[in-house]
Amino acid sequence: MKTIDELLAEGVAGKRVFVRADLNVPLDGTTITDDGRIRAVLPTVAKLAEAGARVVVASHLGRPKGAPDPAFSLAPAAARLGELLGADVAFATDTVGESARATVAGLADGQVAVIENLRFNPGETSKDDAERGAFADRLAELADVYVGDGFGAVHRKHASVFDLPARLPHYAGYLIATEVGVLKKLTTDVQRPYAVVLGGAKVSDKLGVIDHLLERADRILIGGGMAYTFLKAQGHEVGSSLLQEDQIPAVQEYLRRAEEKGVEFVLPVDVVVAPAFPDLKTKAPAHPTTVAADAMPAGQMGLDNGPETNKLYASKLADAATVFWNGPMGVFEHPDFADGTRAVAQALVDSPAFSVVGGGDSAAAVRILGFDENAFGHISTGGGASLEYLEGKTLPGLAALED
Ligand SMILES: Nc1ncnc2c1ncn2[C@@H]1O[C@H](COP(=O)(O)OP(=O)(O)O)[C@@H](O)[C@H]1O
Ligand SMILES: O=C(OP(=O)(O)O)[C@H](O)COP(=O)(O)O
């Protein structure tokens, strides 16, 4: 894999450099609630601009349906990138249309532009190679060189991640180099006990990693939206909680194999429930109650780990030597459901373990809840990406950067 330093040594002045970043930041309307992913790509963007490149930054944000949708515009991220760089950042209101072409053509050496959300074009995420390729062809017209630095999206076989680098000279940016360097350690000389904490909302994406973790981890702690499929698999009522019904047989098999292999599976013993998903805009009181995990009332939704679970999880992390954590333990964006996530973060701060926190929302949660980033071993910008890396899977966005 060629790195950005090699590109800089070759010289980039006057070249149009396409930087595939992951600027998928959490938004409250148009306000960025955590800019960690923008700060993470700054070294790459700043270095290229300093060296006189015409930098075209591209990313997805959220999961729009292949068409423009103002709620998913990258405009706030472009503005924040400009503030952090201390320079004007141009913004193209489309991806490969007139605005993008004119914006890129208007760049002077050392200037930076951001193009609109790549997922506004159906070609970005298409499963059809030809449709993705056609979009990648259009993107390739905007640049002379490709730098991959969107670590959070390298597990996606998407046009800008996988097909575009095949069409341009390609290099890995600083963020990808750092992320891979740290995660590699967890695949080789992991110190034991090795505990993995899994939560969050992308349950169907992430349940499969447990298959691999059963061969690798000593303890697996489950929380967040992931917990309810496990509780249901044990025969408990889960009300209207997030549930991956089709995965129940797989989850039952995980629990059986864990017992056979002596891997400790830790599930919530109590949960915080409410009648409905809370309003994250108004943060209006959500009327939470705490119930035993095996006695959830029908019609209520599990939204956080309860206090007994928080104590239990802290005790399971206290003597771990290595911890990998992906996925908040609850809907931490609402104050009624932030305690479970706060408790796990605090346990990692208190534990001498080498801790890696991965995922857009997990990393944001740690910072939004006021923890010092330096108290953790590594905060990764990718949740799904880091899990798939740890699984040993070939990640399309890394494979595409190989020579
Ligand atoms: N019990 C739950 N029910 C619904 N959503 C949940 C629950 N617990 C956590 N979440 C949500 O999970 C989201 C983050 O999930 P995910 O994207 O998988 O994590 P990451 O971005 O760290 O990889 C947060 O927005 C949080 O509100
Ligand atoms: O937020 C992301 O992943 P993560 O939630 O696993 O950290 C990435 O930006 C990838 O987004 P996607 O899961 O919509 O492809």
Pocket test for ligand 2, best of 65, 202, 357 (most atoms within 8 A of CB): 202
3-class SS of residue 373? helix
Q: Does residue 368 have a pLDDT over 80?
A: yes
Q: What is the pLDDT of residues 329-353, one digit of tens each?
A: 999 999 999 999 999 999 999 999 9
- Cα(158)–Cα(402) distance, rounded to whole angstroms? 16
Q: Which of 202, 257, 311, 393 is catalytic?
A: 202
Mean pLDDT value of segment 374-396: 95
| Residue 246 predicted with pLDDT over 90 | yes
For 380, list phi and psi in degrees, rounded to 5.
-90, 145
* Dist. CA 156 → ligand 2 center (Å): 9
Which residue's CA lies nearest to atom 14 of ligand 1? 200
Question: Which of 7-16, 204-213, 251-260 bottoms out in mean pLDDT, i.e. has the lowest?
Answer: 204-213
- Does the structure show a pLDDT above 80 at 289? yes
Query: How far is the centre of ligand 2, averaged over its atoms, from the C-alpha of 381 (Å)?
Result: 9
Q: What is the pLDDT of residue 164?
A: 98
* 5 contacts 44 by C-beta, under 8 angstroms: no
Q: 194 forms bridges with which residues in the sheet?
A: 322
Beta pairing class for 89-92 and 112-115: parallel
Helix (H) or strand (E) holding 388: helix 384-390
Q: What is the DSSP code (8-state) at residue 179?
A: H
Alpha helix segments (H runs only) across 75-128: 75-85, 98-105
Question: Is pLDDT at 31 greater than 80 in this prediction?
Answer: yes
Predicted structure pTM score: 0.95
Pocket of ligand 2 (CB under 6 A): 22, 24, 63, 152-153, 156, 202, 359-361, 382-384
ipTM for the complex? 0.97
CA 137, 141, 146, 151 dihedral sign is negative
Q: What is the mean pLDDT of residues 273-299?
A: 96
In the prediction, which pLDDT does 293 show? 98
Over residues 199-234, the pLDDT tens digits come to: 999 998 899 899 999 999 999 999 999 999 999 999
117-159 pLDDT, tens digit each: 999 999 999 999 999 999 999 999 999 999 999 999 999 999 9
Secondary structure tally for the chain: helices H, strands E: 15, 17
Share of the chain above pLDDT 90, in %: 98
- Residue 188, pLDDT score: 87
Question: Does 316 score more than 90 pLDDT?
Answer: yes
**Is it the case that residue 35 has pLDDT exceeding 90?**
yes
Give the pLDDT confidence score for residue 149 in this predicted structure. Answer: 98
Say if residue 60 carries a ligand binding annotation: yes
Q: What is the mean pLDDT of residues 92-97?
A: 98
Average pLDDT over residues 150-176: 98
Q: How far is CA 322 from CA 175, 192, 297, 358, in A?
A: 22, 6, 36, 14
Mean pLDDT of 47-51: 98
What six digits make up the tokens of 113? 């532009």
Cα–Cα distance, 28 to 333 (Å, whole number):
10
Pairing of strands 145-148, 170-172: parallel
Residue 32, both tokens: 């960025």
Report pLDDT for 21: 98
Distance CA 89, CA 96 (A): 18
Question: Is residue 403 predicted with pLDDT exceeding 90?
Answer: no
Buried b (16+ CB within 10 A) or exposed e, 315-342: ebbeebebbbbbbbbbbbbbebbbbbbb
